[in-house]
Amino acid sequence: MAPQIQILSSSDAATVSKTCSEYSLSEAEFKKLAQMAAAAKKDAYCPYSQFRVGACLLTADGEFVYGANVENASYPVGTCAERVALGKAVTNQQRKFRALAVATDISPPASPCGMCRQFIREFCDLSMPIIMFDVKQDYVVLRLEELLPLSFGPEQLPSPSHAAENASTRVHV
Report which secondary-structure segment, H or E, holds 53.
strand 53-59
Q: Do 133 and 38 touch, CB atoms closer than 8 A?
A: yes
Q: Report whether 72 belongs to an annotated binding site.
A: yes
Cβ 116 to Zn ion shortest distance, Å: 3
Q: Which of 34, 53, 116, 132 binds Zn ion (CB under 5 A)?
A: 116
Letter for the amino acid at 164? Answer: A
Q: Report whether 124 belongs to an annotated binding site.
A: no
Own/partner pairs, 154-161, CB within 8 angstroms, 24+ separation: 154/122
Q: Does 114 bind Zn ion (CB under 5 A)?
A: no
Separation of alpha carbons 11 and 75, rounded Å? 37
Q: Do 98 and 24 touch, CB atoms closer than 8 A?
A: yes
Size of residue set near Zn ion by CB under 5 A = 3
Letter for the amino acid at 73? Answer: A
Q: Which of 113, 157, 163, 164 binds Zn ion (CB under 5 A)?
A: 113
Q: Is 165 in the active site?
A: no
Cβ 113 to Zn ion shortest distance, Å: 3
Q: Which stretch binds Zn ion (CB under 5 A): 97-105, 107-115, 123-131, 143-151?
A: 107-115
Instruction: Name the active-site residue from 22, 27, 63, 82.
Output: 82
Q: Which of 80, 120, 128, 147 binds Zn ion (CB under 5 A)?
A: 80
Strand-pair partners of 104: 53
Q: What is the DSSP letter of 8?
A: B
What sign does the CA torsion over 51, 114, 57, 18 have?
positive
Q: Does 72 bind Zn ion (CB under 5 A)?
A: no
- Which residues inside 134-173 make contact with Zn ion, applying CB under 5 A? none
Q: Does 85 bind Zn ion (CB under 5 A)?
A: no
Q: Can you give the binding site for Zn ion, defined by CB under 5 A?
A: 80, 113, 116
Binding positions for Zn(2+) are: 80, 113, 116
